Each structure stands twice: as C-alpha cells, then as structure tokens.
Structure 1
C-alpha cells in the first residue's frame, strides 16, 4: 500500500468553519513576517473549503453556466503579524444570508491571539457578471451556519 498525503481539510464546528494554515517562507518578507496579501489568500482558501464542507460544488456550477461566487465587498483589519512557521486557524462565520449574497466574518488566529479579521460580502453571479439567486440547496446549507439571532432574508 502506498501512502499519499491529502490536501488540507477544514471542519465545521457548530456555526463556525475552521481551517488551518501554516506560514511558510514564501508567505513572508525579509523580516519573516507574513505579507499582508497572504491573509486574503488564507481567507479565500477557508471559504473555498467551507463550500466543500457544505457540499456546494462551485466547479460544477461554473461549468454548467449556473454561476459562481464573487467577493463584492471586503474590509480587513490587521492587528498582529503572523511569522514564519506559525500555525494559524482561519475561523469563518456566516453573519447574513440573502437570496443572492452572503455576509461573512473571518478571523485569523494564532492560538487565542487575533491576528487579522475581515468582513465581506460574497455574491452569487451569473456568467455575465449579474447578480443571481443562489441555488435553494446552497441557501439551505448556509442557513446551518447562521446563529439563531441571525435570520436569513
């Protein structure tokens, strides 16, 4: 039997998604501090993994011409630097669900220390770039991540 590694996998814990990343040399500048744009990559990977955990097949949706998710709005705040070899957990919460979009809050954590956080809105768009309703099953999947005080609209 040949052992083969598998890509990183996140998990859903209640209403949050957790995804682990490590800061590699390529992620850092000369001072071994993670370059600010890498947080955007880590957040994107976590959101992509979240879709997989929710059984949302974004590749099939694109290939069938149904549409895709696109970031429509993003605000990020950097608090502490991540450094070479740090283990980081990206935590994602769905804060609002609408017919064609979802708002999320993401945090990059080193243990209990908050390094960066972002608030964003992702919209579901048709191949021509116009907003489109998310598939009903996808909306239902996202509802599982909303806490009881966050009602879908």
Structure 2
C-alpha cells in the first residue's frame, strides 16, 4: 500500500501563471519521501550519526500531466519498487483527488560520510521487509 503525504499549495509554490512551478514538484516528492522514511520508524539524523549513511537522489524520471494551482490540496504517494546494494527505487505521484498531476520514478542511493555509496542500512531493510509483507 502506498504511503500518502498531504500538502497545500501556497502562493510561494506558484509561478506568474498561477500554477505550481515545475521544480516545486521535486520539493513535494522530497518532503513525502522524508515522511515515508519517518513513518517506517527511521530517524534520518540518528541514522547518519550512527554511520548508517544518508540518502541522495541519483536519478529522477518525471512526467508532468496537469497543473496544480494555488490553494489546491494535494496528496503525494510513495510506492516502494525495489532495492539492491546501495540503491532504492520508488514511484511517487502527486494527485489532486483522483487526478494524477505529476508522476516520478526516483532512484536513491545511500552514501557514507566520504560521499561513496554504502549498502542500505539494516534498519531500513528490516522496515521495508515488515511493511512490504503487511
């Protein structure tokens, strides 16, 4: 079942035409990913402090389908797709009611303090196993 994060479009999110500026969708999905990890029971600051690494976006493939506007209530869904080694693949959608406005597939990597890839943390893998089977 996908994780859902709700947000409202503020004036600062829009451009001169009154629609959400394209780059802000990336901010929306970033917030949703952070809440998804938090809801998995992972404290990212503690994870970093314990040497578990940090997550960085390696790749995003995005499709803009319809505009969001000032004061819209949006839901951002995050779906786990797969993982391997240091990589995590997610599908994220921004919806207004049942209408998909934006869709992206994000590839995240886990990085050590050195900036080099490191295996995904055991805590995250355990949380994924628990939530995927439930």
Is the pair's TM-score, using the shorter chain for normalization, greater than 0.5? yes
CA–CA distance in structure 1, aligned partners of residues 14 and 132 of structure 2: 34
Residue of structure 2 in register with 1:122 after alignment: 108
CA–CA distance in structure 2, aligned partners of residues 143 and 34 of structure 1: 35
- Local SS of the residue matching 1:134: coil
CA, structure 1 residues 147+115, in 2 after alignment: closer, same or farther (shift >3 Å)? farther
Residue of structure 1 in register with 2:120 after alignment: 134
Q: Could you say what the CA RMSD is over the residues aligned between the two structures, in angstroms?
A: 1.6
Question: Does the alignment pair 1:50 with 2:53?
Answer: no
CA–CA distance in structure 2, aligned partners of residues 101 and 115 of structure 1: 26
Structure 2 gaps of 5+ residues are none
Flag the structure with larger Rg: 1
CA–CA distance in structure 2, aligned partners of residues 58 and 27 of structure 1: 26
CA–CA distance in structure 2, aligned partners of residues 146 and 26 of structure 1: 36
Asked if the contact 1:96–1:146 (Cα under 8 Å) also holds between the matched residues in 2, the reply is: no
Residue of structure 2 in register with 1:112 after alignment: 98
Give the TM-score, by structure 2 length. 0.93
> Which one has the bigger helix percentage?
2
Question: Does the alignment pair 1:80 with 2:66?
Answer: yes
Question: Does the alignment pair 1:23 with 2:48?
Answer: no
- Local SS of the residue matching 2:125: helix
CA–CA distance in structure 2, aligned partners of residues 141 and 80 of structure 1: 34
Shift, 1:145, TM fit: 4.6
Give the TM-score, by structure 1 length. 0.82
Q: Deviations 1:13-65 (Å, cap 9, x if unpaired)? A: xx210000111000001221000011000000000001110111110122344
